[in-house]
């Protein structure tokens, strides 16, 4: 190829390179009133879990990681909510975001989960929700809409979240 042809291709090549290298704008965060982004992820036990297959149930989707201190405090509360409301159309789905499954397994050995745990090593699901920190939780009604968002885990919010769960399962 001689110089004239190379010079013609440079603007196109520069545009393509810029398009590939530019960071993609993050999705806007999932908020109250939004449809919960759907996912299908491998579970710790059994078949993959698909959020759309839980339609009709109230679902508490909790994003957690092994290195997250507040996540350790949230597990006993989520176990309690699962036990208390699980028979009434409620389920907790804990979405682990660790890059290594072994890290999650060690966490679970120390912090047992009596609720559904799924794994997203690739990080697609937290990206779909635009999760900014751990833990982040989304209370989803039976129609698949987000009705409450909790960023972090605050003891002073537990009663309010439980009241919302109780009200939602009462409508189911």
Residue-wise pLDDT for 119-168, tens only, equals 999 999 999 999 999 999 999 999 999 999 999 999 999 999 999 999 99
Report if residue 7 sits inside a domain.
no
Q: What is the value of pTM for the model shown?
A: 0.83
* pLDDT of 21: 31
Report if residue 5 sits inside a domain.
no
CATH of the domain at 114: 3.40.30.10
Q: Provide φ and ψ at 136, rounded to 5°.
A: -130, 135
Name the domain count of the chain.
1
Report if residue 150 sits inside a domain.
yes
Report if residue 16 sits inside a domain.
no
Angstrom distance (rounded) from CA 163 to CA 37: 24
- 35 bridge partner residues: 145
Structure tokens that stand for 34 in this block: 């939004």
Residue-wise pLDDT for 105-125, tens only, equals 999 999 999 999 999 999 999
- 60 bridge partner residues: 92, 139
Closest CA to 169 of 85, 94, 55, 61: 85
Pairing of strands 146-151, 136-140: antiparallel
Report if residue 88 sits inside a domain.
yes
- Could you give the maximum distance between any two Cα atoms of the chain, in Å? 75
* pLDDT of 24: 35
Q: What is the DSSP string of the chain?
A: --HHHHHHHHHHHHHHHHHHHSPPPPPPPP-TTSBPPP-EE-BSSSS-EEGGGGTTSEEEEEEE-TT-HHHHHHHHHHHHHHHHHGGGTEEEEEEE--SSHHHHHHHHHHS--SSEEEE-TT-HHHHHHT--SSSEEEEE-TTSBEEEEEES--GGGHHHHHHHHHHHHHH-
Report if residue 151 sits inside a domain.
yes
Report if residue 9 sits inside a domain.
no
The parent domain of residue 95 ranges over 31-171
């Amino acid at each position: 190829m001689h110089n004239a042809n190379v010079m013609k291709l440079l603007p196109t090549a520069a545009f393509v390179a810029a398009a590939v290298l530019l960071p993609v704008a993050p999705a806007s965060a999932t908020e109250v009133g939004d449809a919960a982004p759907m996912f299908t992820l491998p579970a710790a036990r059994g078949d993959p879990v698909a959020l759309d297959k839980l339609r009709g149930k109230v679902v508490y989707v909790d994003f957690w990681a092994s290195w997250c201190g507040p996540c350790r405090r949230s597990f006993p509360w989520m176990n309690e909510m699962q036990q208390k409301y699980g028979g009434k159309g409620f389920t907790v789905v804990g979405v682990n975001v660790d890059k290594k499954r072994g890290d999650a397994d060690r966490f679970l050995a120390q912090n047992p989960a009596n609720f559904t745990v799924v794994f997203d090593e690739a990080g697609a699901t937290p990206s779909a929700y635009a999760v900014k920190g751990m833990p982040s939780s989304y209370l989803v009604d039976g129609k698949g809409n987000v009705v409450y968002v909790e960023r972090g885990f605050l003891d002073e919010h537990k009663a309010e979240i439980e009241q919302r769960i109780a009200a939602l399962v009462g409508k189911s």
